[in-house]
Amino acid sequence: MRTRELGGTGMAITTVGFGSWAVGGPGLMGWGTQSDDESIAAIHHAITRGVNWIDTAAVYGFGHAEKVVGRALAALPPADRPLLFTKCGLVWDENGVESNDLTPESIRRECDASLRRLGVDHIDLYQIHDPDPDGPPIEESWGAVLDLVKEGKVRHAGVSNFDVDLLERCEAVGHVASLQPPLSLIDRDAAADVIPWCAAHGTGVIVYSPMASGLLSGTFTAERAAALPDDDWRSRSAQFRAPALERNLALQEALRPIARRYGVSVATIAIAWTTACPGVTAAIVGARTPGQVDGWQDASDLHLTADDLAEITTALHATGAGHGPIEAALS
């Protein structure tokens, strides 16, 4: 699989990585019931196919995703284990109530807890999951993450869902190795500001939800949207309801002729569009089964042509799907 260096970290990562959000199962912002055995099989299959990094977070399934990832890693020979990225800053109580906590003390506790759940002695990339406008100054939180790097518990430090102002404030304290923003054909906002900022500052970018949480998978339908269970967060999202849903499904259909030309899935085209965006290092793609991995793995080696990208741009204008810049995303 094709690789790119993540910023200046020296880590050459495949341009698609395994995302474990759904591995956490049901719960706040969960994806519904999920088999741990299938999750582990999906992780192993992705690694077999060449994926060399996994992205997870403490809050996914309230620690459950990290435990499952840890089980998957433990079953592999050390030489075959992928790079491991996780996140901090979102915590929960005994009642499953989530909150932000970016105090240095909490960040340190979270790191130690993640190391235990994952069964490793260091984390390759440790990221602040979300900003907390009511928390301590971000400089204090970022300094705590950089201290973990100095101590060897973390190799590299990054952030997720930060705007340019927060990136600037963190960079003044110490280099931001990576940013993790959402980016898809439906959510293109990051292409307007934070991704160009990263390109100018030597910061790697790993984007999440490149298939718009399944809307651009090539298999999503209005009937499936209507049948989403209550414990699947998408059942409460405006993008999965009329009128946005109709526009999004029309965009999905517009990608189908391009997918047929290459003999790949619609999902592959959607993912390849994100990795074609200037400044993007790689994309996180989730999977709940080995078969789902096969549906997007070839995106790593697909190079969309200028004509392909122009066709996609035309489809965006025609369908009115999503939000954010269109041409600017590829300029």
Residue 262 appears among annotated catalytic residues: no
pLDDT for res 286 = 87
For residue range 245-270, list pLDDT tens digits in order. Answer: 999 999 999 999 999 999 999 999 99
pLDDT for res 328 = 57
Q: What is the mean pLDDT of the chain?
A: 94
For residue range 26-83, list pLDDT tens digits in order. Answer: 665 555 678 899 999 999 999 999 999 999 999 998 999 999 999 999 999 999 999 9
Instruction: Find the mean pLDDT for residues 13-35.
Output: 80
pLDDT for res 98 = 86
pLDDT for res 331 = 59
Of 60, 126, 208, 262, which one is the catalytic site residue?
60
Q: What percent of the chain has pLDDT over 90?
A: 84
Q: pTM, whole model, 2 decimals?
A: 0.93
Distance of alpha carbon 61 from the chain centroid: 16
- In this model, does residue 305 exceed pLDDT 80? yes
pLDDT for res 199 = 97
pLDDT for res 234 = 87
Please, what CATH class does the domain formed by 3-217+268-303 belong to?
alpha beta
For residue range 148-179, list pLDDT tens digits in order. Answer: 999 999 999 999 999 999 999 999 999 999 99
pLDDT for res 288 = 87
Q: Encoding tokens for residue 331? A: 């300029």
pLDDT for res 26 = 67
Residue 137, CA distances (Å) to 99, 133, 170, 195, 201 in order: 17, 9, 10, 23, 22
pLDDT for res 330 = 67
C-alpha radius of gyration, the chain, whole number? 19
Q: What would the DSSP string read from start to end of 281-300?
A: -EEEEE-SSHHHHHTTGGGG
Q: In sequence order, what are the residues at sequence separation of 6 or more whose Cβ sits closer than 8 angstroms to the Cβ of residue 44?
A: 72, 75, 76, 290
